[in-house]
Amino acid sequence: MRLIHVVGARPNFVKMAPLYQELEKRSAFKQTILHTGQHFDPEMYQVFFDQFGLPKPEIELGITGGSVNDQLARMLSAIDKILSNLEPSMIVVYGDVTSTLAAALVAVRYSHLLVHVEAGLRSFDNSMPEEINRIVVDRLAHRLYVTEQSGIDHLSTEGVDPGKVVFAGNIMIDSLYRYLSKTSPVTDIEPRLSDINGYGVLTLHRPGNVDNELRLRAIMDGIARVAQQFPIVMPIHPRTRGRCNEFGIALESIEGLILRDPLSYIDMLSLVKNASVVLTDSGGVQEETAALSIPCVTIRDNTERPATITCGANRLVAPHAEAIAGAVAEALKPGSDMSVPPLWDGNTASRIADDLLQQVWAMEHACA
């Protein structure tokens, strides 16, 4: 039985790797990786596959650049041709990126079994393209694997058949636990942190934060205040660098801010696991810090991952300098209680693989 994993953005690979490896242990599937090219960094591309022990994708569409709608249109056409030729039995999509939506829309046209890993998350902010993607894909999917209780609740409210929904846990955390032992001392990643007592990590890339000049300036003013207390390492996203250049925001002039090019997964994990605090607008980083019990300050008005807040690791903060500095101070107070959310235990991929095998058994017997 042919199963196609559709991936396109960096977090997709982190989620796919443990499931691909678990399914390789079982003989029921012929697995194919389809990479749309949505996020493609030639310098990081091979490193990613080497680090995760994944084969090079059999299908590479090379669809990169352009607007979201332009990418979506090109992906729909390209994926349609692929699926019509290969006729897979199952399509697995991950998260909420444009590649996920494109594959879902095509898969249902051919009546392929559509599997959504990381289903049910909701920010209730329809200005985010990812929110629209989540809602549409969850409506189309035949099997929905949920990371936290809020996902179960949202899908129930939306009328999704509960028989399609499985609380499997967080597959991102499978990768995190698997590769923790391969991390390096932080000074190997960033020598400027030698003889430093504590540091922070900053990731910033969401259009809502970086495409608005006033908002981006306010955020970086807050970061400048925090960086007066301890260094902040910022692996800078190309979109963020471009906007800072466009708006004349001189990041290099912020004392205590250490700028880096984007890092590989394991190098980034090396930085995060030893940080005193992490500031981010990334969904995945919120989850990783929660699993590691690292204080996290999320610079957003909302989060689709409320389990990271209820477990005590994460807090939301508005994009204002004083608010950011205050949230960091609050996060660093001693005695904060943190716990890891349920089923974020490193065994999610195994649970999903077992359930998919049951789906295969049911399909085969239904056709017998």
Q: How far apart are alpha carbons 134 and 122 in whole angstroms?
A: 8
314-317 and 200-202 strand pairing: unpaired
Instruction: Look up residue 350 and give its two tokens.
Output: 């195994």
Distances (CA, A) of 272 to 6, 81, 265, 340: 28, 41, 10, 16
Specify the DSSP class assigned to residue 316.
E
Of 112, 160, 110, nearest to 134 by C-alpha is: 160
φ, ψ of residue 146 to 5 degrees: the values are: -105, 145
| Ramachandran category for residue 250: left, alpha or beta (phi over 0 → left; psi -120 to 50 → alpha) | beta
Q: Are 297 and 219 in contact (CB under 8 A)?
A: no
φ, ψ of residue 29 to 5 degrees: the values are: -125, 145
Catalytic residues: 205
Specify the DSSP class assigned to residue 36.
-
